[in-house]
Amino acid sequence: MGWLDVLWNPVWAISTALLALVVRMQRRGRWDPHACTVRLKGKTAIVTGANTGIGKSIALDFARRGARVILACRSEARGTATLKEIREKTGNRDIHLRLVDLSSLDSVREFTKRILEEEKALHILVNNAGISGLPRQITKDGFDVSFATNHLGPFLLTNLLLDLMKRSAPARIVNLSSVNHVKGEVDFSHFHGENLTYHRDNVYNHTKLHNIICTNELARRLEGTGVTANSVHPGVVMTEVMRHYPFMFRFLFNCIGIFFFKSPDEGAFSPTFCAVSEEMEGITGKYCDSDCSLVLPAPLARDAALAVKDFEICERLTSKL
Ligand SMILES: NC(=O)c1ccc[n+]([C@@H]2O[C@H](COP(=O)([O-])OP(=O)(O)OC[C@H]3O[C@@H](n4cnc5c(N)ncnc54)[C@H](OP(=O)(O)O)[C@@H]3O)[C@@H](O)[C@H]2O)c1
């Protein structure tokens, strides 16, 4: 039997359709943002990478709840288009665009300087921006560009905004990681682009492991301040995340994704759950799965001694000596 025969086989077609239906029903998770009546009037939120994908859906949700939302984007054109769209869809005028390139520590410092000058409070910070599949490239700060964008830039951005968040407590930090962190490894020379294999999501997986490790250590350091920090896996989501992968890879991702993967709105459920839900009030240092349940991350992500070391190294790498 050829592969076309398999495709037309009714048993195969019906079971695939049923499987897709079950996956579709399950992928929404146990928490429904539409049923959550939490309002964010008077609250300020920053969402990085808010011009597309999951970040845009998170920002839309916050805007609908009445928050003052700052879209932290690297492209003025893409950011402005999203700003207009969110204002139009929600009627919330208190949406603002601030530019930041997370792969550059100078840009992160400029961004946070402006935020500290302009904002009286910050209640929610969602470190959403991320990239995958980039080839080797060393930034002007001397870091691998994926590590700079996915981990060191957000790490510095968060630390520079911590005092403002503590003054605004209760406040929540939500870091977008990925289930792929289980395939990640910790080797501190990776930060500088050493000992890395640039193949598919290899480097990305390491960065996503560091996200959880440092979020856990941050949560420990923030105990008693009223600021919580959690990491989250949004699920497999049909976004632009594969944009740096070969065409065939993207094509297959999109074909399979139509049936089995989440939409960006569905991908925003678990990050939004961490950022706004009553259930997550006071919960800190946890890893939230795509169905909004708290689960244990990989053993390396739970190593407290490693977390202290990782956090200190990242502090040193991002400090201005
Ligand atoms: N999609 C998934 O299946 C999946 C699964 C697990 C985890 N995640 C995580 O979810 C988060 C959002 O991903 P997504 O799927 O929504 O991806 P996406 O559609 O590619 O969006 C990524 C966002 O990050 C921004 N960004 C990239 N590099 C940046 C930089 N140097 N400075 C500032 N912003 C930058 C992008 O801006 P531009 O548009 O200007 O490039 C874009 O707004 C990521 O952290 C990702 O690791 C996604």
For residue 283, being part of any structural domain is answered with: yes
CB 97 within 8 Å of CB 76: yes
For residue 235, being part of any structural domain is answered with: yes
In the reported structure, the alpha carbon of residue 157 is separated from the centroid of ligand 1 by a whole-number distance in angstroms of: 16
With left for phi above 0 and alpha for psi between -120 and 50, is residue 295 left, alpha or beta?
A: beta
- For ligand 1, atom 6: residue with the closest CA: 178
List residues with catalytic annotation.
204
Please give the residue range of the domain that contains residue 269. Answer: 40-318
Quick: pLDDT tens for 246-281. Answer: 999 999 999 999 889 999 999 999 999 999 999 999
pTM for this model (two decimals): 0.94
CATH number of 240's domain: 3.40.50.720
148 C-beta closer than 6 A to ligand 1: no
SS (H, E, C) 77-122: HHHHHHHHHHHHHHCCCCEEEEECCCCCHHHHHHHHHHHHHHCCCC
For residue 19, being part of any structural domain is answered with: no
For residue 5, being part of any structural domain is answered with: no
Cα 127 from Cα 50, distance rounded (Å)? 10
Q: How many CB atoms lie within 10 A of CB 183?
A: 15
For residue 6, being part of any structural domain is answered with: no
User: Percentage of the chain with pLDDT > 90?
Assistant: 88
In the reported structure, the alpha carbon of residue 97 is separated from the centroid of ligand 1 by a whole-number distance in angstroms of: 17
Of 179, 173, 266, give the one whose Cα is nearest residue 216: 173
Quick: pLDDT tens for 30-44. Answer: 788 999 999 999 999
For residue 23, being part of any structural domain is answered with: no
Cα 62 from Cα 282, distance rounded (Å)? 19
For residue 8, being part of any structural domain is answered with: no
For residue 18, being part of any structural domain is answered with: no
Quick: pLDDT tens for 131-157. Answer: 999 999 999 999 999 999 999 999 999
Domain count, the chain: 1
CB 239 within 8 Å of CB 263: no
